[in-house]
Structure 1
Amino acid sequence: MNRQRTLRRWGLALAAVLTLICSAFLVSPASADAFDDCASGRLCLYSASGGAGDRRDFALGNNPEAYDGGWDDRALSAMNNTTHWACFYTAGAYGGTVKAVQPGASVEYPAATGSSHKLAPSSAHCYTGYERCPDNRVCTFTEPNGRGTMTVHLPTPDPVTKNYGNSYGTAAAPASVVNRTLKHACFYPQADFTGTWTEGTGGTTRYGAYVVLRGDSTTVPAPFKGTFRSHELVQSTQECQ
């Protein structure tokens, strides 16, 4: 009986000690005050780790493709106090390496490398940027999945084909495309809406126009990647040159 009473006392004492230890962890200075100045509904960047240093706040809908005011490559920590995922990018225009931070979470950076961000409804949206393209436009991007610098192509009449298209010469090298028009887009390797692609030993496989259907988007595969020099919009893919 005495032995049982002694064991019970030891159990109660051990439980009390564990409670004190757990309480000490919960009120540790490293986590108690960090980031608590970031208001609800805001994404906050900090110039030092642990939510210290200068702070810059962003609201939902404020998705800068380039930081101003000297914040490019400056943040060392951040707090996402919004209901959306925070998508951080090491390059401007949502390019470079991606870091997705869930709602209500903070993040530390080993080095200041952030150059742009957006707040998205899911983590999957962090890895695409097609939504930047306006309605009734074809947009090309320098990185896969609609990320990187975007070029918006304005439809203009072509005097020969009577279709709408753009010629963008040798300056463009799209890695991805979105077609937000009501027509199909035919892409060509020549600036005059012509040309073919070849693949295989001795060029035995030949391809005509690369087609992006109306409302569709794609990361451009080989052998087409980086070779588009013009495109036209057509009602039927049979109209491609």
Structure 2
Amino acid sequence: MDISGNTIFIPGSTSGIGLALALALQARGNTVIVGGRRTESLDRIAAEHPGIDTVRIDTTDPASIDAAAKEVLARHPGLNVLVTMAGIMRVEDWHRPESFLASAEATMATNVLGPIRLIAAFVEHLQTRPDATIVTVSSGLAFTPLKVTPSYNASKAAIHMLSESIRLQLADTSVRVMELQPPSVRTPLLPGQEDNEAAMPLDEYVAETVALIEAQPDAKEIQVERVKFLRYGEARGDYDHVVATVNAHDPHGK
């Protein structure tokens, strides 16, 4: 993925990493469309950041995804990058089903079915572009589990393997698959995480991510330095130590 000159749709980007990445990519000379569920947030973003387009989309609703895809492509037929950013993270207690089942179902619907449906809505169009990219978003917790968020961990592990698999299938097309693997970042993903000093500052995460994409436009995985502790524990042979460290020091995973 070239760092500039793209038309990029980022559903799930009205706050947190998604919005910060959208603004950073716009500043690098890309046309950016932000998607989200809340019209008031979209209106505020459009007013505060001229040049950013907005589209209402609920990534848990197949009809909403289809309608948003039609709207985006009608206004931006040159779209060549899809970033499947939307996601939720919830603390669960798996001792009793009433404490986790609804949360697990919602997490999988948002974090796994959402990206799958988004890719389904855009993949044929992307194959018509001479240089296109699907950007998926997993997590360091796809590789090292945080005890209190089982469904989130599993959903991000699924996104990692989905990314690996569709990259192989789309190798005969113009579409690349790039996977972002964030560590714990100071965002509203979990209550209190914005103020978690152990998490990576949002601006630092986005700046390092954009720099990595610019330096490695053909990279399969974008890993800021701080996520490598989680990503490579098994390969280094210290997986048990990584799991113990993550679960001993911070309820949010870092």
Fold in common (TM above 0.5): no
Higher helix proportion: 2
Q: TM-score, normalised by structure 1?
A: 0.23
Higher strand proportion: 1
Q: Which one has the largest radius of gyration? A: 1
